[in-house]
């Protein structure tokens, strides 16, 4: 692709704001930088193709799947940046989006990229410059690249963002391409027909302000990293291209794939071919006027599992395009209160992860590798990715390393489910998560919520999300994590009305930390509810290196945390329908709402410190997983 990324830089236009920021404390500056406004939100023998029930086709704006397999040019690196704490530049007065440079003695504009600082992309802006540590507001990014139309005749070009937190407006050469809301899922805009020969300038306005109508809303227990936090790419396709595909085992089979390929573009009626050379699979189909080509075939798959994470090289092609990627095939199912992987009982030895490493937002493949290696060392076969979709790097590595995943959208405490437009946002975020990772064998659960309070609006909204998840992807389980359980006459109960809409139920319980033990562990009786139970969170805080008695919660020491887990495990051993556990959390993570001196702005429930040092509780869980994994 004949696209050359370049930009120029100097160092003065943020000086006035930097001086103002440095003149006050971070906490005092936070209100100054908050409350930005002004957005406009948004062979096997060849087989004949039989009609197959398939999900409803997504709109043409669906981000491209399998980005690593496409013709692309990275825009990662240094971007020029301007801080705009009040989002003043998004309107018509300052109009930063026009990207104007003064020419002559009579022109003056109150911004200037040519004299700005730079920020690394991908990466959060909060940890790159000390004056931005507490920024909850707007930052403008600019990148210039060269375009030669002669090299792109008949081709289409998209700019693809892995994620940006939270609201994003994208402009090309002073014209708006569109907006996106959501901090953790991919989005793209088409540049075809808008580019000019020579230099083109891409401007991106990102605002991480917490909002009452946001997802998550204003209150959440992690650090609100802002900016272009994941990869940015220019992606080139034919005029009609492979937009997406689903190639996974049918829910009722260990051999049959019921899949589809979705084309988008000017001539969607095209032949489609899917090959898996290692298995001799060579299947052809014809896309209809809607670009959808249903597929059905069988093959003697070596099934993917944590013990043997087998991946096959799969080729999807049309006469104009060919994509390849490595895909695993496995079946995840529920039978009563049993959880089955490839027809065999499964116990999930899990742990929760936040997407944070070294006190910053994790973003690279190297970051993901370190995080997943920590899970393997613990003895885990399962990760709950809290409380939002993590990077595609991590999900693809989990495929290769044999780690099962629960992925969830950030439907956290405090969501206003009755707000106008909220359901559309919920459904868009869920669709963007599923679209990106529907072909990853590692993903076995789509999570639709964490610790939300029952009520008519919430119950209706989340039940609809569960139905949407099954419609978009019938090959995986749907779950949510509830805070509880309840305690009724000596029995621990799970009575949330949403349980009826789920395949697996997650419970976050903190007996002995946030609430007293209702009974001793050996006396705890959990009432069955006919579905598999996962303890999706349990934990207590301890500061690494702080030691003392094991019976005082307020001591914040490692001995208490280790004793807490031993007591929890005594209770968990008595739940006959327990199908997995996930301690909260693998590593201490930043959370400004944690104000105890031993916390110092961190949630200290990690089995590891923020620097990766093992607390005593790490060994407790490691030994437990060694025992139940036999």
pTM for the model: 0.90
In angstroms, the CA 592 to CA 294 distance is 49
Average pLDDT over every residue of 361-383: 98
pLDDT of residue 149: 84
**Of 99, 77, 64, 75, nearest in space to 169 by CA:** 99
The tens digit of pLDDT for each residue in 534-590 reads 999 999 999 999 999 888 878 899 999 999 999 999 999 999 999 999 999 999 999
In angstroms, the CA 618 to CA 483 distance is 24
Helix (H, G, I), strand (E, B) or coil at 375: helix
**Those residues with Cβ within 8 angstroms of residue 44's Cβ, 6 or more apart along the chain or in another chain:** 276, 279, 280, 281, 282, 283, 297, 298, 299
Greater model confidence, 62 or 45: 62
Domains along the sequence of the chain with CATH: 3-33+64-237 (2.60.120.260), 240-332 (2.60.40.10), 347-628 (3.20.20.80)
The answer to whether residues 498 and 554 touch, using CB atoms and an 8 Å cutoff, is no
Average pLDDT over every residue of 83-87: 92
Question: Nearest 5°: phi and psi at 145?
Answer: -145, 155
Comparing 95-109, 258-272, 289-303, 615-629, the range with the smallest average pLDDT is: 95-109
E strands, 431-516, in order = 443-450, 477-483, 486-488, 491-493, 504-508
DSSP string, 273-301: EEEEGGGTEEEEEE--TTSEEEEEEE---
pLDDT of residue 61: 63
In angstroms, the CA 445 to CA 480 distance is 9
HEC letters along 104-159: CCCCCCCCCHHHCEEEEECCCCCCCCHHHCCCCCEEEEEEEEEECHHHCCCCEEEE
Length of the chain in terms of residues written: 630
**Those residues with Cβ within 8 angstroms of residue 252's Cβ, 6 or more apart along the chain or in another chain:** none
The tens digit of pLDDT for each residue in 174-230 reads 999 999 999 999 999 999 999 999 999 999 999 999 999 999 999 999 999 999 999
The tens digit of pLDDT for each residue in 380-397 reads 999 999 999 999 999 999
Q: Please identify which residue in the block is written with the tokens 């429930």.
A: 605
CA 185 vs. chain centroid, Å, equals 6
State what percent of residues in the chain have pLDDT above 70.
90
In angstroms, the CA 384 to CA 354 distance is 9
In angstroms, the CA 362 to CA 356 distance is 5
E strand or H helix that includes residue 41: none
pLDDT of residue 357: 95
Comparing 44-58, 157-171, 208-222, 567-581, the range with the smallest average pLDDT is: 44-58
User: In the beta sheet, which residues pair with residue 504?
Assistant: 479
**Of 443, 436, 477, 450, nearest in space to 387 by CA:** 450
Within 10 angstroms of residue 402's Cβ, the number of other Cβ atoms is 19
In angstroms, the CA 283 to CA 587 distance is 45
């Amino acid at each position: 692709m004949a696209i050359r990324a370049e930009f120029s830089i100097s160092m003065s236009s943020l000086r006035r704001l930097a001086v103002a920021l440095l003149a006050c404390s971070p906490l005092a500056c936070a209100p100054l930088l908050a409350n930005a406004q002004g957005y406009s939100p948004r062979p096997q023998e060849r087989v004949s193709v039989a009609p197959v029930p398939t999900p409803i086709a997504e709109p043409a704006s669906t981000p491209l799947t399998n980005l690593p397999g496409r013709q692309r040019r990275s825009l990662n690196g240094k971007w020029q940046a301007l801080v705009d704490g009040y989002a003043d530049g998004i309107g018509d007065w300052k109009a930063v989006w026009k990207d104007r440079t003064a020419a002559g003695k009579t022109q003056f504009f109150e911004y200037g990229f040519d004299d700005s600082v730079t920020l690394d992309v991908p990466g959060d802006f909060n940890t790159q410059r000390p004056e931005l540590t507490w920024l909850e507001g707007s930052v403008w990014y600019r990148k210039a690249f060269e375009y030669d139309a002669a090299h792109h005749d008949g081709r289409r070009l998209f700019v693809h963002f892995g994620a940006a937190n939270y609201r994003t407006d994208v402009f090309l050469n002073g014209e708006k391409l569109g907006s996106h809301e959501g901090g953790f899922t991919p989005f793209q805009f088409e540049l075809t027909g808008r580019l000019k020969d020579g230099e083109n300038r891409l401007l991106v306005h990102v605002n991480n302000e917490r909002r009452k109508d946001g997802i998550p809303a204003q209150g959440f227990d992690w650090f609100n990293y802002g900016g272009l936090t994941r990869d940015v790419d220019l992606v080139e396709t034919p005029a009609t291209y492979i937009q997406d595909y689903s190639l996974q085992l049918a829910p009722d089979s260990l051999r049959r794939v019921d899949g589809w390929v979705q084309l988008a573009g000017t001539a969607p009626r095209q032949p489609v071919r899917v090959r898996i050379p290692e298995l001799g699979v060579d299947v052809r189909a014809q896309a209809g006027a809607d670009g959808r080509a249903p597929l059905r075939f069988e093959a003697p798959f070596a099934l993917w599992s944590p013990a043997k994470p087998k991946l096959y090289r799969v080729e999807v092609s049309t006469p104009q395009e060919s994509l390849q990627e490595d895909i695993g095939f496995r079946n995840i199912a529920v039978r009563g209160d049993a959880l089955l992987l490839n027809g065999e009982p499964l116990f999930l030895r899990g742990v929760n992860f936040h997407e944070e490493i070294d006190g910053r937002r994790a973003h690279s493949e190297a970051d993901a590798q370190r995080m997943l290696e920590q899970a393997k060392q613990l003895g885990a076969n399962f990760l709950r990715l809290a409380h939002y979709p993590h990077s595609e790097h991590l999900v693809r590595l989990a495929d290769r390393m044999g780690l099962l995943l629960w992925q969830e959208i950030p439907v956290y405490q405090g969501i206003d489910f009755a707000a106008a437009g909220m359901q559309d946002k919920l459904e868009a975020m869920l669709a963007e998560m599923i679209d990106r990772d529907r072909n990853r064998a590692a993903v076995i659960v789509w999570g639709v919520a964490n610790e939300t309070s029952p009520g008519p609006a919430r119950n209706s909204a989340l039940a609809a999300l569960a139905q949407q998840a099954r419609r978009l992807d019938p090959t995986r389980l749907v779950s949510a994590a509830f805070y509880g359980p309840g305690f009724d006459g000596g029995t621990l109960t799970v009575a949330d009305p949403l349980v009826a809409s789920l395949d697996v139920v997650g419970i976050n319980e903190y007996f002995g930390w946030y609430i007293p033990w209702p009974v001793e562990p050996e006396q705890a009786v959990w009432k069955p509810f006919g579905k598999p139970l996962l303890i999706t969170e349990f934990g207590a805080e301890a500061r690494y290196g702080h030691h003392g008695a094991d019976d005082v919660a307020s001591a914040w020491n490692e001995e208490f945390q280790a004793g807490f887990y031993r007591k929890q495990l005594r209770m968990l051993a008595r739940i006959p329908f327990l199908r997995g556990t996930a301690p909260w959390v693998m590593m201490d993570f930043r959370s400004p709402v944690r104000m105890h001196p031993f916390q110092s702005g961190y949630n200290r429930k990690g089995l590891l410190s923020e620097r990766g040092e093992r607390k005593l509780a790490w060994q407790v869980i490691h030994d437990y997983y060694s025992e139940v994994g036999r």
